[in-house]
Amino acid sequence: MNLEALIFDVDGTLADTEEIHRQAFNAAFQEHGLPWTWGTHEYAALLRISGGKERMRAYLDGLGLDRDERKRIGSLITEIHATKTRLFAALIETGAGPLRPGIARLIREAHASGLKLAIASTTTPGNIDALLGRNLGDGAVGWFSVIAAGDQVPEKKPAPDIYHLALRALGVPPSACVAFEDSDKGLKAAKAAGLFTVVTPTLWTASEDFSAADLVLPSLGEPEAPLDPGSSARIGAPFVTLGVLEALHAAGRPEAPPPE
Ligand code: XBP
Ligand code: MG
């Protein structure tokens, strides 16, 4: 089956954004007078929970507050999260979240070749507008036929719902797509939706299990920053292009080369 669409996760895949989310959460807590500060280790653990609102609720429930205080703060979570989303976008506007290697190049190549582009993310849609707009220019959001994100589905990743929504909207079978992810919960969601999945882990997800991935790479690489020899050997090229993806997708999961 020919390749017809690329489906991108956002946080960790398009850009390494979780540190910016962490800063935005902490700034929102401060703005709302909450004595909460999420350090990097605590946030890494909280990232096991998909969705910023769900993450805050889980954190609140674990604080051992009395029922009335927990109810009071719980009623503010949507408002706190809207503040956090505003603060995240402001940080992105400063240039804090550059796209990862190869992402802009591959998106532009796919757009120029008429391949369909989609987003399938747990993140809030406003985060995506900010990230794509700042890094690819205002028209770039329009290059994506589908932006499936956030609360558009009841079950977030690792449930496949957001990928099912993206596939339905694309009108393309999973066998004609390649998904890009950074985390094990995203990989689980993409594989449950039947997608050939390329994983480019970040430091937040490096220790997770990607054995179900069709391809794991440190990044998509760039002409001026080629992939390491082992990764290049696995894809038969120094960086990922549309042609490389089409060949890998057509051949199925590449076998790892024999150990050197
Ligand atoms: C990653 C997430 C999101 C972000 C925070 O989404 O789980 O919750 O951490 O964004 P993905 P929100 O990797 O699927 O792009 O606060 O908007 O949820
Ligand atoms: Mg992600």
Residue-wise pLDDT for 2-60, tens only, equals: 999 999 999 999 999 999 999 999 999 999 999 999 999 999 999 999 999 999 999 99
pLDDT at 254 over 90: no
Q: Phi and psi for 80 in degrees, rounded to 5?
A: -60, -40
**Would you state the pLDDT for residue 205?**
98
Taking residues 201-214, report their average pLDDT. Answer: 98
Given this model, what pLDDT does residue 1 score?
A: 72
> Is 5-16+99-251's fold the same as 18-93's?
no
Q: Which atom of ligand 1 sits closest to the CA of residue 14? A: 15
pLDDT in tens, 101-138: 999 999 999 999 999 999 999 999 999 999 999 999 98
- 228 tagged catalytic: no
pLDDT at 252: 76
Does the annotation count 11 as an active-site position?
yes
pLDDT at 260: 44
Q: Is the confidence at residue 256, as pLDDT, over 90? A: no
CATH of span 18-93: 1.10.150.240
**How many Å apart are CA 62 and CA 96, to the nearest integer?**
31
Distance (angstroms) between ligand 1 centre and the Cα of 115 equals 26
Q: Which two tokens stand for residue 151?
A: 């609360």
Query: Nearest-CA neighbor of 3 among 255, 253, 259, 250?
Result: 250
Domain range list for the chain: 5-16+99-251, 18-93
Give the pLDDT of residue 257: 44
Structure confidence at residue 239 (pLDDT):
98
CATH class, range 5-16+99-251: alpha beta
**Active-site choice (11, 16, 161, 182):** 11
**Cα→Cα distances 158→51, 63, 75, 166, 170, Å:** 11, 25, 26, 15, 20
- Judged by its nearest atom, the ligand closest to the C-alpha of residue 151 is 1
